[in-house]
Structures are given as structure tokens and as C-alpha cells.
Amino acid sequence: MLIATQAITNNSPISQILDYLTVRQASLKLIEPLSVEDCALQAEDFVSPAKWHLAHTSWFFETFILMNTLPDYQPFNDAFQMLFNSYYNGIGEQFSRPKRHLLSRPSLGEVLKYRQHVDDVIMGLSQTVIDKNKEFIQLGLHHEQQHQELLLMDLKFCFFQNPLFPSYSALPLPETKNLTPINFVSFSGGLKNIGALEDDAFYFDNETPHHSVFMQKFSLSDRLVSNGEYLKFIEDGGYQDASLWLSDGWSELQKSDSKHNPLYWLKLNDKWFEFTLNGLAPLNLDQPVSHLSFYEACAYAQSVDCRLPTEAEWEVAAKNQTIPLNSNSDFFHGLGVDDQFPLKQLFGECWQWTQSAYQPYPGFKAPPGAVGEYNGKFMCNQMVLRGGCRLTPPQHIRASYRNFFYPKDQWPMTGLRLAKD
């Protein structure tokens, strides 16, 4: 099965519709602070305009539910099938990803009408049709939550290109206090189970099958590496010491002398600042370092005689910890304030790089049809991250969630937790 059959709250059609409305309205709330021009920004080919995210998530519901379920359904606009298809080759042609910023038409207003059209049809579905499509509705909601996070990550990268350093939220980031030195928490080795269970509320196909792995004893740092600790790595010449870097990482480093620090760090008048969605602010040394590439995370770990955790180690350690609800939802940056024990900042602060390549679990099979392209075809040349970040919808975070990015990527909100044998 692609996903489990339970809805986000429960299995009733009414609950599914309430879940649908909640998630869909959350996307619209994200663009409330934005202008029409903001919604069209695409600074590089690896990010997408906010307007495109809004349209693509509607395309998903229209394509996989309405067009496959309702014999007489007429698409809102036939051209949208190509314009807002992301990578589903089984559906048909896609518009060039690097050129999404050129789609001045349809306008943002037309995209919002498209969303409303799809919502109206979904809301009018009979109970029988909802029951038949409950798995795809649930998948579509979690897919939209993924794009809510991506919308903010993409917007942050685009805003960073503007010398005015526009802020998405006017609230200044709060001060953080009481950062304690890193300690390591030990975990036993042996045969452990990881992956989603069939009775879990929701899971993507790449989280299955549930299976056993044998691991040695290990320990994980009780919190994420901080800005202050990473700044010391920079000042101690970490970016100039080739012995700390993987070969591919060192090669990436030589391509640009301007990237010898995390992506959103700036040195102005000999003082370090960090660009966030809450604006440009003096670098807070106690907050978790974020927007590191896998190569940077590995180099730092090497510099302190540690390593990155495997994804199995991370999941085993995370299984028995409660996922906190984000009580600081107006702040779009890792704050480092977390009372969870024994591991702090495990969920919802920064995605944490692991040393595990993104590969299928033993026995994994992508589901048939175009929807099988969702995860399986990306299981090559990428690394697994765990834990969610400050931009991840809290209901979307779970211990078995496998995110994945390319090793050189800095634009996701990626941080660093240390491991030892």
C-alpha cells in the first residue's frame, strides 16, 4: 500500500473534509503577507514560485482524484495539466522547472480561482466517492503540507537575493537562554526495528517495509550543534582544512570562495548576521546552526572527532520521545528552546543530516501507476534527513519520516546532530 488508510483525525468522511479544509486553508494563510510579485519569485531552478506551489497542489487533487473518479469531470483548464505537473512522467509532459518564474499567466488570481474550483468539487463528493478515495485524499493533504514547507524555504532563498532583506514575518526572533554544553546519550546495540507500521496513522511508501536492522552501541548528542559552535569551526580554519572534507565536498567548496559559511550568514562591518524569514538579525550564538550542506555537516563532525548518525540510529533514538507541538508558530527559524529529554531539539527545529544514503528499505516496491513516482525514483545520489524543521507543519512530523536532499543543498532548513560509536 502507498499509505495507511487512517485519516489525519479519523476515518469518517466528515473528518476527511475537515482535514481537507484545514490543510488547504493553511496554504492560503501562508501567502497572506505576500504581494503578487512575491508569489512569482524564482531565484534559481531548484526553487519554485509560491504561485506554482499553490497551483501544483490543486493539480494533484484534480489529477489523481477528480479526473480518475468522476467520468464527466472537465478540467478547470486543460493547459494546467502540463503547466503544473511537477515530475510525473506517467501523466504526461511538464513545463520546464527552471522557467516557472516565466508563467506570469495564469495570474495569481486565476490560480486562486483554480484552487477554489477544485475545493468546491472535492467538497461536493459523495460519501461513496470519498470512501473510495480516502487514501489519495490523505496522500494529497500530506503532499500539500510538504509544499507548504517548500514554499517557505523557496521564498526565503528568493528574499535573500534582495539587498533590502525583506522579512516574511515582522516579529523579531526571541532571545534564547541557558544553552548547556553538549552531552552524549548512549543507546544499546542489537537487533532493532525501524520503518512505519501498518497501523500507523500515515506514512509515505518510502517509510516501508517495517524491518529489522542490527546496530552496534552508539551515542547521540543531546542537542543540535549551535551557531556559536559552528562559528568556532569557521574561525579555526575548518573551511581551509581539506582533511576534514569528503572529496566531493571539497570540490564543491573550491567552486566559490563566498560559500565558506552557512547559506544565510553575512558578515557586515566585522559582525555576523543571519537572514531569516523574521528578518536580518545579529547572529544568535545559542540558536541551532541551520542551512548546512551534508558536506558541511560531515566536515564539522569530523573536526570534533564525531560523525553523523545513521538514519536507523536516529529513528531508534527518536521512537520513545514525544513530538512537541510547535508553540512558537510565528517564528520561522530554529530557536533552540526545547525541554524534551533525553534528546533536545529532536523534532521540529532543523532537519538533521544522517550519513545514510537515500535507498529503498529491504522489500520496498513502488506502487503501480504514476503515483508510484512520488518517492521511489529519487532513491539515488541523495542523503536522508530526519526530524522536521521550524517550517514543517507539526502534524506532518513523525519518527519514521524520511526526507531526502542532495549533499550540496543548503537552501533547506538543515542542521546537525553529532553521533559517536
CB–CB of 385/414 below 8 Å? yes
**Both 217 and 118 in a single domain?**
no
**Both 153 and 214 in a single domain?**
no
Predicted TM-score of the model (pTM): 0.93
| Residue 174 pLDDT | 80
**Both 273 and 239 in a single domain?**
yes
> Tell me, what DSSP letter sits at residue 224?
P
**Both 156 and 188 in a single domain?**
no
| Residue 328 pLDDT | 55
Left if phi > 0, otherwise alpha if psi is -120 to 50, otherwise beta: which for 165?
A: left
| Residue 258 pLDDT | 62
| Residue 11 pLDDT | 54
**Both 332 and 229 in a single domain?**
yes
| ∠ CA 419-420-421, rounded to 5° | 135
In a 13 Å sphere around the CA of 365, the CA atoms on its Cβ side amount to 5
Domain count, the chain: 2
| Residue 5 pLDDT | 28
Q: Which residue, 146, 192, 163, 119, is CA-closest to 53? A: 146
Residue 170 placed within a domain: no
Residue 6 placed within a domain: no
Sort 294 into a burial class: Cβ within 10 Å, 0-12 / 13-18 / 19+: buried
Sort 418 into a burial class: Cβ within 10 Å, 0-12 / 13-18 / 19+: buried
**Both 153 and 196 in a single domain?**
no
**Both 414 and 268 in a single domain?**
yes
CA distance 327 to 337: 10
Residue 177 placed within a domain: no
Residue 14 φ then ψ, to 5°: -60, -40
Residue numbers of the domain that contains 311: 184-420
Residue 317 placed within a domain: yes
How large is the C-alpha radius of gyration of the chain?
22
Contacts for 376 with CB less than 8 Å, ≥ 6 apart: 205, 206, 360, 364, 366
DSSP string for residues in 170-185: -SPPPP---PPPP-EE
| Residue 395 pLDDT | 87
CA distance 194 to 213: 7
| Residue 17 pLDDT | 82
Residue 210 placed within a domain: yes
**Both 122 and 200 in a single domain?**
no
**Both 145 and 23 in a single domain?**
yes
Residue 171 placed within a domain: no
**Both 349 and 204 in a single domain?**
yes
**Both 275 and 352 in a single domain?**
yes
**Both 131 and 247 in a single domain?**
no
Residue 101 placed within a domain: yes
CATH code (residue 372): 3.90.1580.10
**Which of the listed residues 99, 127, 160 is the one where a domain comes to its end?**
160
Left if phi > 0, otherwise alpha if psi is -120 to 50, otherwise beta: which for 32?
A: alpha
CA distance 86 to 55: 11
pLDDT along the chain (421 residues), means of 10: 36 74 96 98 97 97 93 94 91 93 97 97 90 90 96 98 95 80 96 92 93 97 97 97 96 81 95 95 95 98 98 95 71 77 91 97 86 83 96 92 97 97 94
Residue 249 placed within a domain: yes
| Residue 170 pLDDT | 86
